[in-house]
Amino acid sequence: MSENTTIAKSTENARHEAALLPPTDVIEDAGGITLYADLPGVPKDKLNLHVEADTLTIEGEVSLDLPEGMEPSHAEVSLPRYRRVFTLSRELDTSKVGAEFKDGVLKLRIPKVEHAQPRRIEIQVG
């Protein structure tokens, strides 16, 4: 699994909008990969996951309750959206992606295709 820094294949309308890069953990085990991404401030309905061929795009819009007429005095999160694009290995089965999203943390589980799964071969004693 490698990461694209230049966004080439993402949706056209979002292409030029600046976005935050969500911090991510990727853990690989024998059966597949687990990806965690931090997207604080994104409600469930504003999260967009997109798999196209071998490209995984994670996008989210930040939605905060801002009081009317608020004057910002300090901002470390200065953009209202996140975006990150990953290129997935062909070993991964993109038709079986499992996603959970809770408290701003996205958890994706992508299993490996069957022929890439490790198998134990029984040795027959003749």
Partner 1 sequence: MYYRSLFPRDLFAEFDRLHRELQSIDPNPSIRGLTRGFPALNVGGTPKAVDIYAFAPGIDPATLDVQLVKGMLTIAGERKAEAVPEKATRHIDERFAGRFQRVVSLPDDVDPNAIEAKYRDGVLRVHILRKQEAQPRRIAIQ
Positions that interact with partner 1 (CB under 8 A): 1, 3, 5, 18-30, 33-34, 36-43, 62-80, 82, 102-105
- Tell me how far, at minimum, the Cβ of 7 lies from partner 1, in Å: 11
Q: Which is nearer to partner 1, 31 or 50 (CB)?
A: 31
Q: Which is nearer to partner 1, 34 or 48 (CB)?
A: 34
The sign of the dihedral angle between the CA atoms of 15, 108, 3, 80 is: positive
Name the DSSP class of 89: P
Q: Is 28 helix (H, G, I), strand (E, B) or coil?
A: strand
Q: Which is nearer to partner 1, 16 or 124 (CB)?
A: 16
Q: Kindly give, in sequence order, each residue whose CB lies less than 8 Å from that of residue 104, ignoring residues fewer than 6 positions away.
A: 38, 39, 40, 41, 42
- Tell me how far, at minimum, the Cβ of 125 lies from partner 1, in Å: 27
